[in-house]
Homo-oligomer: A and B are copies of this chain.
Amino acid sequence: MTTQVTVWNEHVHEQEDEAVAEIYPEGIHGALADGLADDGVAVRTATLHDPEHGLDRSTLAETDVLVWWSHCANDDVSDAVADRVVERVQNGMGFIALHSGKNSKPFKQLMGTSCGIKYRHGGELERVWVVDPGHPITDGLDEYFEIPATEMYGEPYDVPEPDRTVFTSWFEGGEVFRSGVCYRRGRGRIFAFRPGHEAYPIFHQPEVKRVVSNAVAWATPTEGATTREGSVDPIESIEET
């Protein structure tokens, strides 16, 4: 069955900042959807400005993997939609948090931590190193790739100890950062990927596109086991006490 991907973007910078609009004329969501076009998956897009941010119950129910980009409007996402996304992840939907998507309500609720970092604007070199070359999210990559100019994120990154740390970045200004980290919550696979500041054409880079494609494949739900919750009868006979 074809994997159903929803690419969500707050879509604010592109409308407010001409420089960003030039880099992403179809929006960051458009660039991301374009990057997935050859992967044999079905892609739809949604933004903050759609009714229910484009994440109504039926859309989420049909979504296998939600790719999420957000930054300045993290607080504008409604609590109801955030809760709905979290619940859908727990039930199996994959969730790919890009860049400041780490500060989104759903990601923070899934982590249970502040997700705090240090950062620096201005543009500097980032070298993204593969630290887990056996992980499928690294398929087809070389041992590192470079982002010529970007915002810096620095450690400590206040997230739970990752299930797997896939990438770690070196920054020109002297910091390091765990740029690709994997989690599971309930049945849902979660990947947070650092790159993607709006002021640079990062989602046009082939290596970054490859990581997002790989992450979508990795986060696609699998069947799993049937389970029951709540009050149950005993399987074995219980002695009267």
Q: Name A's B-contacting residues (CB within 8 A).
A: 86, 90, 92, 109-114, 116-125, 127, 129-136, 138-143, 148-149, 152, 154-158, 160-161, 163-165, 168-176, 178, 183-188, 222-236, 238-239, 241
Q: Is the CB of A233 within 8 A of B160?
A: no
Known A-B contacts: A112-B185, A161-B163. Give 15 more (CB < 8 A): A109-B109, A118-B232, A120-B234, A130-B156, A133-B156, A136-B222, A138-B225, A142-B226, A143-B225, A143-B226, A160-B185, A161-B164, A169-B176, A170-B170, A173-B236
Q: Is the CB of A225 within 8 A of B142?
A: yes
Contact A131 B143 (CB under 8 A): no
Question: Can you list 7 pairs linking A and B with CB atoms under 8 Å apart?
Answer: A90-B158, A110-B112, A112-B185, A139-B222, A165-B178, A174-B234, A175-B232
A170 touches B160 (CB 8 A): no
Measured between beta carbons, the chain B residues less than 8 angstroms from A227 are 130, 133, 143, 156
Return chain B residues, CB-CB under 8 Å to A223: 136, 139-140
B112 contacts A239, CB within 8 Å? Answer: no
Q: Is the CB of A175 within 8 A of B170?
A: yes
The smallest beta-carbon distance between A14 and chain B, in angstroms, is 22
Residue pair A232, B154 in contact (C-beta under 8 Å):
yes
Q: Which of B86, B140, B174, B231 has a CB less than 8 Å from the CB of A119?
A: B231
Given A113-B185, A132-B156, A135-B224, A118 and B178 touching (CB < 8 A)?
Answer: no
Q: What's the nearest-Cβ distance from chain B to residue A222, in Å? A: 4
B229 near A118: Cβ-Cβ < 8 Å: yes
In the bound complex, CA of A230 to CA of B121 (Å) = 11
Nearest residue, chain B, Cβ from A108: B112
Q: Which of chain B's residues have a CB closer than 8 A to the CB of A160?
A: 160, 183-185
Are A225 and B130 CB-contacts (below 8 A) given A118-B230, A234-B173? yes
State which of B119, B121, B149, B176 has its C-beta within 8 Å of the C-beta of A168.
Answer: B176
Q: How far is the CB of A112 from chain B (nearest CB, A)?
A: 4
Q: Would you call A113 and B90 a contact (CB within 8 A)?
A: yes
Kindly list chain B residues whose C-beta atoms are within 8 Å of the C-beta of A236: 172-174
Asked if B155 contacts A129 (CB within 8 A), the reply is yes
A111 to B186, CA, bound (A): 10
